[in-house]
Structure 1
């Protein structure tokens, strides 16, 4: 949203610089994203003056040039060589003096220099309108009809506007500030100054005109509808001040009638719409809805099919306008328009939002209506607009003012306690300052006691309806920067933190796994008792037995997802579907001394080939790395990084890993032991991961930490260690991260050796280290020192032998 400093000064006295005003508004919640200088003519016509041609003679060496002497307000006239055919003595002209920079309508800017043209000195340039950027004509120099003294700056003659424009990133809740008046209201409170708001002029009927009647069929969608007929209009270009104002906000002037409605919208925040009164059939306006599928052609000449839910402004033939959103082509103001019906209304934000979203139309009017305008503004805005129509377009009031407002919208009434103000702000605010701030924001205090008061808030403040909102108003005017930090930090929350949606989290994980080619399993929670009795890793005593069991095969609740998953593997393998990757979210059950407990698990299964044979390569079986990569993807999606990994070689795995987060176990993964496979009658290898879904969802975080990519290069160094077989990679990695510090960015294992070339009970790791400094290029000295620290740490902590 753009705001003109010049226009703000019409409402409130401002002596502060644009930058100071911007800082003040930003601190109060109206964030100023940019301050831009605006000049209605490029370059501001600096160095260009009004002059008078004293003499004009033909150039002795050029038939198409003239030598003139021009009075530009200096002690002596200036000699200027001019190529225009219409130059003559006695003319008032526009002169660009030496050093002036011109910004032509077309072409690049250029600077005027003292020069010799065909042997004659030229001290400036007599200009055509396109040469100074105020028009397109190049038929000849401009000849002015003015009594202004010679040397008068041309910017005064052409009413060049210079302004500073504030670009405000308006938040959706501050609909009240979507205008110059709204911003001025905040400055009034911030600067403790009064606002000059002209009184609305009573609109007396001056002449007879087209009679317009209005019917509102849905008062809940249109609580207030006002309008008036203005006739004897002369549609023409707007005066320069109005064009300059609109251009400073990034709008193109259209004509005086439309420009006035746009001026009121940006000035007061109240959208208006002007209908050509002669095009309103039978002189009747109806505010209501049209049936679904009705065709309507908007101002952009596009035919649109109505949804039936949008609010329409209609006559007896059909739609004239999508209320609060976009006008219709057939009823708009044209150059031939002489009489208009000027509409000013308050529409329900919900109904405008529906129409705007359905048709994909985002206009300045809908932007304000769908956030909530001031229901008390329509008549005042009409009064201001009609005054301008009378002044600028010669209009005359030709009807009584129509104002349908059957159920006036009441002020918001909010109970406030001083104790709550001080608690939420974190600082005691004197009650007298509270009263001053709120009254400066047009919030009235009633029923004042030592404990608190009743606040009466005008309905244009749609975002101030609760006690917390009142306190926020006090704080933003008092100043966030004036609240000191206490020695002990604490906070109060105005709303509960959102609870994690576990169903949504599971659904997203399901989507990810399905996208990776996994099939989801849904298996029975009832299982065979012999799985616990014969597996060796489940305690039969902890099984939850079913009293009214249907069969012995379904006699207990499952303690693990492994066997129900293996049954699915066997079923598919027996039907020649041996390449399987699958997952299951399921609940497991156990009996304990304190009763019963259950928990959610996530199981991952791999079996068979990960890729089929082809002429490019043979078939590849699933390996541990495939299972580990899948688990890594799951943890990465949940933003969880295991703190430790331990090797296991116990049931139900032949070998595998335990993943831990602190002291808690996230899950286990590895190759399923043959004994388990036989129990489920599976005749091929199965890779299995069992993850604690309850713990993962509890620890899952949507927050990720990012840092800027270093400008300095990485360096790789390799190291070969001989260590005990019992030493895990996670131990080696932890030692490296601690000893290498922030310079060690990544650690990898690219080879592992166990054999007769090294001592029994030993293994060799070939490690790669990626070193990088975020602030400097690494030198050989720093790299060697870091690697020495790593080798020393490995030798001292795990008895490593460094292989050369």
Structure 2
């Protein structure tokens, strides 16, 4: 929002110092209206004065140049070479003196010689002064100004270039900030001033606007739709003051009718639109437009519409359109149509003032890829109470500057709901905000200051009977923002100034810290990185696919669904890295995914991809690539999880559609399946253009965190070095080929207590020496007692108990 300081000072009376650009920008920024920039318009015309062209002669050495003698009220006239075709003797022009800088064209004026003729200065065009120009050539002040300033006077004030413009960033919850009246109320409340806002009234016929039943449903979604008919208008260029106000706001002037509707939008925040009513009548072949032909509906799929900017659009049912004889004449709240627009021949108009539902306008604007000044205001929500006042203001200006006559007004609106007052408790406000600075001391905010602050915003306060607080009626312009008691408290703090309140530390002071689950998660990330994997962060919104949850209001059509897995984006990243020449892609991601079940639950997952190789040398492999095998990759994951002492068991997995049926495992944490690990299925690898040896895994993060935080099992514990020797034995048993080594190790560790110190698998064999369906698994067992050296008999006894347990529980036979 571009705010002209001169315009603002016309609407607000207050301390002159507080309304200066610097202090005002600081107060607005502290109050929540961030000032992005302050544009000094005077700099655009610095060193530019009023001159009078005494003589004009053709350049002796150039056909398109003129040599002018220009009087600037000094003792000597200036000789200036000018290339404009419209320069002539007897006109007043803006003259940039030697040394002047024109920021609009990044030019500093210096004495020059053009084709052999000296030139001291430059006659300027409006574009060179940063203004919008209708045609080419220099600016002729006699045509632009009602009264030309004296020769030598600065030209900036006459062209409105003695102002400063504040660039404000308006948040979504403050639609009142998109109007000069809203900013004026805010500034008046901040500086302790008064607003000078007067809403003119007009006498207009008010009767129901005839709309069909289906159209009325759409109107109810917005709440109000009005048409004011005016005739006898004369289309002409806007007066200079109106022209300048629009330019300062960044809006291009068009003609007096359109410019007045834009001015009222800037002033009140209410967008208006003027239809040429005669051109509407042509649609039905009538001499006068018929209100019964007016309607409001959703667009038809593929319906054509040409907007004011002469762009043709193919509409979809998401667009809300204003129709005449069922033909779209405007995108409701976004932009009008070209065929019914005001032009030089317009003599009568229908002035539309309406409130459309923010969601409907947002969908319409997105469906056609348009974002306009009008749509940005409708999308944030407008109060219905100000709509007709804005129309009245426009009608008054149209009467004054366009000789308009009002022939009637037709209105359709939803029944208004009474505004319920909010309770504001004195104790709640004082406890939340604390004491405020009062000279050198701090004291609680007084009731008078609280009432004065909220009243300045337009609120009406009534003290409660019990005297514990107030009942606050919020003005219509702030209903979108002030909906709870805490919102009112925030307004008091904002306007008093956050920097004026005392700073209180919590009492008692308690140290903060991470929860055990947060500590484990951070440790897990570090361990995965230490194992060689990089952490990735992919977009949580994905394209449409079966089973995914759609967003009600997606920002992008191609990313309108919540992701239901993490591995999809990781595999895509792996493909892109390998295609760009990288030797490998090892990465993991921790993130949330969403399932489309009845509960629409969200889960935290850990997923990773190990694809290709990542190493700094190749001499050990004779220069050949050597990606990690299945077991090496599984070891990398185990390396990270082992640092958290998370017990994980691998079980065969053959039915996963993404994984190789013979090289996949189900990961079991504390007896429950919580994920999977495996090599990418060959068909999937070919489809994704990835190596056949690509590894992918996925684990439920919550299960890992719960397992890792049991009794702080990953905390290091002191263990003394053994001072006595150990005794090792090998044990080879024949079991069914389907028996997992993890099952055997579990039995061995339990049966070997308390002397068994360590057990590990060293060999697994299937072959001709064994019967079909059987395998041999060999283990190395280490026995030790921490206090003494074991005898052979003690070791043999423990070894025998292990053999007996294996035979009894798993049917294992000692291999001979």
| TM-score normalised by L of structure 1 | 0.60
CA drift of 1:161 comes to 2.8
Mapped partners of 2:89, 2:680: distance in 1: 101
CA drift of 1:660 comes to 1.4
Mapped partners of 1:296, 1:316: distance in 2: 15
Mapped partners of 2:254, 2:451: distance in 1: 45
Give secondary structure in 1 for the equivalent of 2:384: coil
Give secondary structure in 2 for the equivalent of 1:454: strand
Q: Is 1:473–2:545 an aligned residue pair?
A: no
Mapped partners of 1:513, 1:677: distance in 2: 36
Q: Deviations over 1:591-640 (max 9, x none)?
A: xxxxxxxxx6635556999999xxxxxx9999xxx9xx979x98899999
* Residue 412 (structure 2) aligns with: 404
Q: Is 1:464–2:469 an aligned residue pair?
A: no
Quick one: structure 1 residues 59 and 354, their matched pair in 2 at CA, closer, same or farther if it must change by over 3 Å? closer
CA drift of 1:435 comes to 0.9
Q: Deviations over 1:666-694 (max 9, x none)?
A: xxxxxxx999997774478789999xxxx
Q: Deviations over 1:721-762 (max 9, x none)?
A: xxxxx9xxxxxxxxxxxxxxxxxxxxxxxxxxxxxxxxxxxx
Q: CA RMSD in A?
A: 5.2
Q: Is the 8 A contact 1:578 1:608 kept in 2?
A: no
Q: Is the 8 A contact 2:4 2:248 kept in 1?
A: yes
CA drift of 1:463 comes to 1.5
- Point out the more displaced range, 399-408 or 379-388: 399-408
Give secondary structure in 1 for the equivalent of 2:714: strand
* Residue 217 (structure 1) aligns with: 216
Quick one: structure 1 residues 31 and 662, their matched pair in 2 at CA, closer, same or farther if it must change by over 3 Å? farther
* Residue 450 (structure 1) aligns with: 467
Gaps of 5+ in 2: 436-443, 510-516, 519-590, 596-600, 613-645, 685-690, 718-728, 747-756, 758-816
CA drift of 1:381 comes to 0.6
Q: Is 1:314–2:323 an aligned residue pair?
A: yes
Give secondary structure in 1 for the equivalent of 2:152: coil
Q: Deviations over 1:222-281 (max 9, x none)?
A: 322222112222333333333332232332223322222222222211111111112334
* Residue 425 (structure 2) aligns with: 417
CA drift of 1:373 comes to 0.5
Q: Is the 8 A contact 2:175 2:380 kept in 1?
A: yes
* Residue 345 (structure 1) aligns with: 354
Q: Is 1:24–2:27 an aligned residue pair?
A: yes
Mapped partners of 2:739, 2:594: distance in 1: 37
Q: Is the 8 A contact 2:78 2:120 kept in 1?
A: yes
Count of residue pairs brought into register by the alignment: 578
Give secondary structure in 2 for the equivalent of 1:279: helix
Q: Is 1:293–2:301 an aligned residue pair?
A: yes
Give secondary structure in 1 for the equivalent of 2:421: strand
Give secondary structure in 2 for the equivalent of 1:445: strand
* Residue 200 (structure 1) aligns with: 200
Quick one: structure 1 residues 678 and 112, their matched pair in 2 at CA, closer, same or farther if it must change by over 3 Å? farther
Mapped partners of 1:341, 1:689: distance in 2: 88
The equivalences for 1:764-775 within 5 A come to none
CA drift of 1:436 comes to 1.0
Q: Is 1:154–2:155 an aligned residue pair?
A: yes
Mapped partners of 1:476, 1:459: distance in 2: 20
* Residue 379 (structure 1) aligns with: 388
Give secondary structure in 2 for the equivalent of 1:29: coil
Q: Is the 8 A contact 1:425 1:475 kept in 2?
A: yes
Match of 2:37 among 23, 34, 38: 34
CA drift of 1:343 comes to 0.8
* Residue 566 (structure 1) aligns with: 651
Match of 1:394 among 403, 423, 429: 403
Mapped partners of 1:133, 1:363: distance in 2: 23
Quick one: structure 1 residues 147 and 189, their matched pair in 2 at CA, closer, same or farther if it must change by over 3 Å? closer
Mapped partners of 2:700, 2:37: distance in 1: 43
CA drift of 1:375 comes to 1.1
Q: Is 1:283–2:290 an aligned residue pair?
A: yes
Quick one: structure 1 residues 567 and 239, their matched pair in 2 at CA, closer, same or farther if it must change by over 3 Å? same
Mapped partners of 1:324, 1:293: distance in 2: 19
Q: Is the 8 A contact 1:607 1:685 kept in 2?
A: no
Q: Is the 8 A contact 2:670 2:707 kept in 1?
A: no
CA drift of 1:91 comes to 5.8
Mapped partners of 1:140, 1:401: distance in 2: 44
Q: Is 1:305–2:315 an aligned residue pair?
A: yes
| TM-score normalised by L of structure 2 | 0.59
Q: Is the 8 A contact 2:279 2:340 kept in 1?
A: yes
* Residue 581 (structure 1) aligns with: 664
CA drift of 1:12 comes to 0.6
Q: Deviations over 1:196-242 (max 9, x none)?
A: 0023132469xxxxx98666612521322222112222333333333
CA drift of 1:341 comes to 0.3
The equivalences for 1:636-651 within 5 A come to none
Mapped partners of 1:124, 1:377: distance in 2: 51
* Residue 77 (structure 2) aligns with: 78
Give secondary structure in 1 for the equivalent of 2:244: helix
